Amino acid sequence: MKGGQCEGENSIQNLIDYAMFATFSSRHLVGIWYLFAVSLVGLDQATKYAIQVLMPFHASIEVTPFFNLVHVLNPGAAFSFLADAGGWQRYLFVGLGTAVSAFLAFALWRGVRSRIEMAAYIGIMGGALGNVIDRLRIGAVVDYLDFYWQGWHWPAFNLADIFVVGGAALLVLASVMERAEQRPVQLVEIKRRQNIEEKNKGAKS
């Protein structure tokens, strides 16, 4: 049993090491990564279109005791941030979403060396552009996922928001894993310097 568990842990570690540190550059297949991002935009827009066609505005369908499908418009950012501003936020978020997507597309073209980081960029691009299209098309974002507990409702959100938040989470994961991988190397370097200092002290004495 222990042998099987060790093999499973080693397999997971090998997969993580491959995803993070195996020789890789996103530039080699950058067109494919752009296509993935466009596919996420298409999936997001298709779900929003279905909600708009099949559900009246402000309609709510109970799916479970903690989740409703709804049809609402959010002029703010993810999870209704700045939804009550005076309208200027539409142009702010269009500009931000476009600029962030352009920067990430350029980063993929230059070459990202972590597969996890690449997946994060694709998710953020797909989500950001999906919401940008909404703001350009109708001036607000279509939200339809409503999670709640008793009388408390989390602000409604959509698939594009999930892509953005998921991409951000992957960026954090990539950063943590990279630091964890670098720490043993740093410890070895510190030990090496200590040994050199001890040898120099011994030579002087």
Report phi then psi at 61, rounded to 5: -120, 120
CA distance 84 to 146: 19
| The residue to which tokens 């995803």 are assigned | 19
Rg (the chain; Cα; Å): 23
CA nearest neighbour of 34 among 115, 133, 104: 104
List 68's β-bridge partners, or say none: 62, 146
Contact residues for 123 (Cβ-Cβ < 8 A; gap 6+): 40, 163, 164, 166, 167, 170
Q: Which residues are catalytic?
A: 143, 161
CA nearest neighbour of 95 among 108, 73, 77, 107: 77
Largest CA distance in the chain: 87
Q: How far is CA 50 from CA 54, 140, 142, 169, 180, in A?
A: 6, 16, 11, 28, 44
Q: Which 8-state DSSP code applies to residue 154?
A: P
